[in-house]
Amino acid sequence: MTTTATSHRTRPPAQPDSLRAKRLPWYAAPAIAVVALALSAVIVYGAGVGGPVLVVVLGAILYLVGLFTAANAVEGRRSARNRTWSALIHSAFVLAVLPLVSVVWTLVSKGASRLDANFFQTSMNNIGARDANGGAYHAIVGTLEQVGIATLITVPLGVLCAIYIVEYGRGKFAFAIRFFVDVMTGIPSIVSGLFVLAFWVLIVSPWFNDGRPSFSGFAAALALSVLMLPTIVRSTEEMLRLVPAPLREGAYALGVPKWKTILRVVLPTALPGIVTGVMLAIARAAGETAPVLLVAGGGAAINTNPFENNQSSLSLFVYQQAGDASKYAPARAWTAALTLVALVLILTIAAKLLARRNRLSR
């Protein structure tokens, strides 16, 4: 008798149907989306007021209205608001990803036609308008050298400047540095090119070239350095400020000097963020055209010496081929653009893996 009573008490009571929350079936949202798109297409194409883009936009609005109405009728107003906002968040994500997917698809579809050995092993020297050959070897060499030199100049300067601002900078001098870095962030690329043209090309380069001004890849690297420096300083500064203060205080409590604390504790902790900022600066510099055109001049021949004569870059090559009248030029431009994006992507992945490996080894 006691066992029967105990089992009866431990059995969970059955919930009545009135207490169970009603929910839309799993196929409700896709069905509403299909109906919304169909209705949108009928309205847009029936009225003749737009194309596929308007169909998608109007369909998204109708989908949100239909989803809210259906959820409000079945699940209640609170759940309907939750579903609607979730749909808006997912729509924002799709809207943000679509341009990226469109750019990648366009580059791959139009740039794949010249992905051959000839493109990566030859230059445009002695290539006429009716010649289907010709490549961007000289532009790839110029981009690697110019961006590499600019990175060697700006990374030490930018990191040291950020360390001074965060760890040592106090008073008006630090405020002035931060102010001018913020101002440099908004400088147009053409201004940096004009600055290097007026200073290096017209004043300094004649000292090394028998009194004659000379274009060079190094001048382009200096112009790119002006553009990269504020990005590296600001990103490194923010990463250093995110390092927890107890890490510094623990090192100081153990008697570690400040410079060694910065070198062994602060910088390794902020390294992934610093690498990200550096790669953003490199990506911006690799895509600049105006400074290279002003101070490097461009060229069709291969020039591996960045300190003498004209030198081209991938961004300048894209600009020149896009404006060329030859029917073979657009294919070269698209392939060069795809190469530039792939180059920046490879450098970014390599830098991230290197930073992650150094962090794990510690």
Give residue-wise pLDDT tens across range 53-71.
889 889 989 999 999 999 9
Alpha-carbon torsion angle 55, 58, 60, 65, nearest 10:
-150
DSSP per residue, 139-189: HHHHHHHHHHHHHHHHHHHHHHHHHIIIII--SHHHHHHHHHHHHHHT--H
pLDDT (tens digit, 0 to 9) for every residue of the chain, 362 residues total? Answer: 445 544 455 555 555 545 456 788 888 889 999 999 999 999 999 888 878 888 988 998 999 999 999 999 988 889 889 989 999 998 888 888 888 888 899 999 999 988 899 999 999 998 888 888 889 999 999 999 999 999 999 999 999 999 999 999 888 888 898 899 988 888 899 999 999 999 999 999 999 888 889 999 999 999 999 999 999 999 999 999 999 999 999 999 999 999 999 999 999 999 988 998 999 899 989 989 999 999 998 888 999 999 988 999 999 999 999 988 889 999 999 999 999 999 988 988 888 887 776 554 55
Q: How far apart are CA 97 and CA 198, in angstroms?
A: 42
Query: Which SS3 state, helix, strand or coil, does residue 310 take?
Result: coil
- First vs last Cα of the chain: how many Å apart? 68
Residue 49: CB atoms within 10 A of its CB come to 10
Query: Which SS3 state, helix, strand or coil, does residue 292 take?
Result: helix
Q: How far apart are CA 280 and CA 239, in angstroms?
A: 14
The highest-level CATH class for domain 119-361 is mainly alpha
Return residue ranges of the chain for CATH 1.10.3720.10.
119-361
